[in-house]
Amino acid sequence: MLDFLKQPWPWYIAGPLIGLTVPALLILGNKSFGISSSLRHICAACLPANIPFFKYDWKKEAWNLFFVFGILLGGAIAIHFLSNPNPIEVNPKLATELAAYGITDYNNLIPQDIMNWPALLTLKGFLLMVVGGFLVGFGTRYAGGCTSGHAIMGLSNLQWPSLVATICFMIGGFIMANLILPHILAL
């Protein structure tokens, strides 16, 4: 059983398990699934400033903080007890393409060749980590939620704005991965 848990799960098992969080949250407490609002709740709780965006009753949403903490705790348990000791398998064509950009370390979920503290001080690192992080945060706020909130929760509730947001997320992801990222990695 433990060996099964250490292997990557196929989409037809992991996908429905993730999808079942939507009806579980709705049935158990009439709650919506989404992660991006957690940062707002943390800021409202920890920084009681006179900023209108943070002036609301964040305690009504405290369940979301426990949910995110559970995700963090589950990830920590999984990485500590259920890690697969074998190297991460990468498609040979992708490995060849990434090697051309100097990315050869697949022992972590994040390529250590480009995502590390010294790389942050390079143009490539700055673009990937700082500018990329800003764009993700800005896009999440501008879209009124993150990919999990829109693609999982919003689509399951047949919300038109979530369909538009999810289509835009996908188009942006394809453009970034296929047109922009190769130029950044070539720096």
- CA atoms of 60 and 75, how far apart (whole Å): 25
One-letter amino acid for residue 47 of the chain: L
Same domain for 78 and 98, yes or no, is: no
Domain count, the chain: 2
Residue-range definition of the domain harbouring residue 64? 1-86
- For the segment 3-59, what is each residue's pLDDT rounded down to a tens digit? 777 777 888 998 898 888 888 888 888 888 778 888 888 888 887 778 888 888 888
Same domain for 95 and 152, yes or no, is: yes
Same domain for 33 and 80, yes or no, is: yes
If one compares 167 and 58, the residue with the highest pLDDT of the two is: 167
Write down which residue in 86, 105, 135 finishes a domain.
86
Residue 41 burial (10 A CB sphere; 0-12, 13-18, 19+): buried
What is the greatest pairwise CA distance in the chain?
Answer: 54
Residue 66 burial (10 A CB sphere; 0-12, 13-18, 19+): exposed
pLDDT of residue 5: 76
Same domain for 72 and 15, yes or no, is: yes
pLDDT of residue 88: 78
Question: Over 70: is that where the pLDDT of 91 sits?
Answer: yes
Same domain for 54 and 36, yes or no, is: yes
